[in-house]
C-alpha cells in the first residue's frame, strides 16, 4: 500500500489536474487538503475538457471516493454548482462518492465582498487574488470566528455565529471599505438551503481516512496552487492564504505524516505565474508570447493570461526541499518545441552576489537577475511520444539536465493535455 501527495512545485497552474487524474487509476481515494475555489484543475479526457475548482480531480472516475479535507475553505454555492455540472455530464451520480470535512470552514458573502474591495483599494499594489473570498475566510479561521460545516448543520450555532459575524463585518464594510452592508435574513435563508443540500456529504473525514487506510485503501492527496505561493514559504505577500507545501497535507486532512509515502512535485518545463509578485525568469518579448500561445496560458479559474518565463531551477529546488519531494512530474514539455535555444535559470544574481537558494527577501527576489545556461532546442513535435526514447535527443538531454539541477528524479513527462499524452517513467504507487 502507498499513499501519495501531489504538490505544485512552482507558482501554481503546473498541470496538477491532469496528473492527479492520471494517478487516480491507482488510488481508491482522492483528497483536497487546502485552498478553495481559487484553484482550477483542468482535465482533458477523450478530448473533452473539465475544470474543477473544489471537488478533487478524481471526480471523473466512477468508483473513487473524493474527499474535501478540513484545510479547504468551501463556498457552498460553488460546490453545489460543481456537483450539478458533473452530474449533468454523467459523473458523480452516487452521492456517496463525495465526503466533506465537518471541520472545513465556509466562505461567506462578506468574505468575497471584503476580498474584492481590498484589491480595488490596493490599486497598482494589488496582490492578484481571485476575489473569491479565500483569504478573508482563512483570516476568520485563524481569528477563531469562522463558521465551519458542522456549525452550518446546527441551526442555533449557525444563527449565533452568523449574526455576530454580520454585525462585525458590516461595520468594517461600511466604515473602512466604503462598501454595501449585508442582510442577515437573506444570508441566513440562502445558507439554510445549502445546509439541507450538503448535509449528506458532511462527516468526520479524518476518522474516515484513518479507517480506510487501515483497511488497505490507497490515498492520493491533491494540492492546490504551488509551493512558491505558500503563505510561509512563498513570495510573501504575493502568495495564497494556505500552506501549499506537503506539510499542509497532514494539517489539512487530519492524517499523520507516517501515512504519506511519496511526494510528487508538479512542474512545467518552463515557468508561469498569474497575478502580481516577483518573477525572475519572466519573458516580456516574443518568446514569452510564444509560450503563452502554444501553452494556452490562461488561468482556469480567472481566465487571466499567465506571465511566462524560462524554467527556474532555484524555485523548484526550494519546492523539493520544503516539501521533501521524492519525484517530479514534468508537464508541457511539448510547448518548448521549435525553440532553437532553451535557457534554464540555475541561480540568481543580486548586486554582485550569486544566489543559489530561493530568497525570503521580497527585495532580493524582485531585483534578482537570472543566471542562465542554454540547452539545444528541438523541432520534432512531441505529442505522439509515449516512451522516453521517442523524444528527440535534445529533449531527453533537457529533461536529464533538469533532474540534475533540481536534484530530484523526474518520474513523468507530459507531452500534451490528454491522459494518453504521458510518458510514465516511474509510478509512485509502486512503493
What is the rounded CA–CA span in Å between residue 281 and residue 286?
14
Whole-angstrom CA distances from 358 to 267, 315, 372 are 16, 6, 15
Grid coordinates belonging to 102: 465537518
Report yes or no: 83 and 92 within 8 Å, Cβ to Cβ.
yes
Report yes or no: 130 and 242 within 8 Å, Cβ to Cβ.
no
- Closest Cα partner for 291 from 338, 343, 333, 335? 335
- Closest Cα partner for 279 from 325, 233, 328, 228? 228
Strand partners, 262: 4
Residues marked as catalytic: 13, 41
Q: Please give the span between the terminal C-alpha atoms of the chain, in angstroms, as a whole number.
A: 7
Whole-angstrom CA distances from 208 to 131, 213, 227, 367 are 32, 9, 28, 47
What is the rounded CA–CA span in Å between residue 28 and residue 58?
9
- The DSSP element (H or E) to which 88 belongs, if any, is helix 76-88
What is the rounded CA–CA span in Å between residue 263 and residue 260?
8
Amino acid at each position: 500500500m502507498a499513499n501519495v501527495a501531489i504538490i505544485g512545485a512552482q507558482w501554481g497552474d503546473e498541470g496538477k489536474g491532469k496528473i492527479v487524474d492520471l494517478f487516480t487509476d491507482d488510488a481508491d481515494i482522492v483528497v483536497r487538503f487546502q485552498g478553495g475555489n481559487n484553484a482550477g484543475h483542468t482535465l482533458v479526457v477523450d478530448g473533452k475538457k473539465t475544470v474543477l475548482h473544489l471537488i478533487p480531480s478524481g471526480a471523473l472516475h466512477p468508483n473513487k471516493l473524493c474527499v474535501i479535507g478540513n484545510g479547504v475553505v468551501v463556498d457552498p454555492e460553488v460546490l453545489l454548482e460543481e456537483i450539478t455540472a458533473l452530474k449533468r455530464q454523467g459523473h458523480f451520480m452516487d452521492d456517496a462518492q463525495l465526503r466533506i470535512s465537518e471541520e472545513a470552514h465556509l466562505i461567506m458573502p462578506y468574505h468575497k465582498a471584503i476580498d474584492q474591495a481590498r484589491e480595488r483599494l490596493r490599486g497598482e499594489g494589488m496582490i492578484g487574488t481571485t476575489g473569491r473570498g479565500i483569504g478573508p475566510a482563512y483570516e476568520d479561521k485563524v481569528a477563531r470566528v469562522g463558521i465551519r460545516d458542522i456549525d452550518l448543520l446546527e441551526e442555533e450555532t449557525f444563527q449565533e455565529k452568523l449574526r455576530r459575524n454580520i454585525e462585525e463585518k458590516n461595520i468594517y464594510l461600511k466604515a473602512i471599505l466604503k462598501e454595501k452592508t449585508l442582510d442577515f435574513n437573506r444570508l441566513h435563508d440562502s445558507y439554510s438551503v445549502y445546509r439541507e443540500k450538503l448535509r449528506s456529504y458532511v462527516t468526520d473525514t479524518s476518522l474516515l481516512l484513518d479507517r480506510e487506510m487501515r483497511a488497505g485503501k490507497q490515498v492520493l492527496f491533491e494540492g492546490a496552487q504551488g509551493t512558491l505561493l505558500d503563505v510561509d514559504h512563498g513570495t510573501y505577500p504575493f502568495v495564497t492564504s494556505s500552506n501549499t507545501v506537503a506539510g499542509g497535507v497532514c494539517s489539512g486532512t487530519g492524517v499523520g505524516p507516517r501515512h504519506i509515502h511519496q511526494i510528487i512535485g508538479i512542474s512545467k518545463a518552463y515557468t508561469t505565474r498569474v497575478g502580481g509578485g516577483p518573477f525572475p525568469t519572466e519573458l516580456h518579448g516574443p518568446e514569452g508570447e510564444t509560450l503563452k500561445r502554444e501553452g494556452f496560458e490562461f488561468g482556469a479559474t480567472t481566465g487571466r493570461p499567465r506571465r511566462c518565463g524560462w524554467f527556474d531551477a532555484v524555485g523548484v529546488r526550494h519546492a523539493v526541499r520544503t516539501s521533501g519531494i521524492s519525484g517530479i512530474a514534468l508537464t508541457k514539455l511539448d510547448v518548448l518545441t521549435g525553440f532553437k535555444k532553451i535557457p534554464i535559470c540555475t541561480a540568481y544574481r543580486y548586486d554582485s552576489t550569486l544566489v543559489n537558494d530561493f530568497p525570503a527577501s521580497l527585495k532580493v527576489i524582485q531585483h534578482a537577475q537570472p543566471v542562465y545556461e542554454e540547452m539545444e532546442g528541438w523541432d520534432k513535435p512531441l505529442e505522439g511520444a509515449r516512451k522516453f526514447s521517442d523524444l528527440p535527443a535534445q529533449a531527453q538531454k533537457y529533461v536529464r539536465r533538469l533532474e540534475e539541477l533540481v536534484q530530484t528524479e523526474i518520474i513523468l513527462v507530459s507531452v500534451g493535455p490528454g491522459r494518453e499524452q504521458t510518458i510514465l517513467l516511474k509510478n509512485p504507487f509502486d512503493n
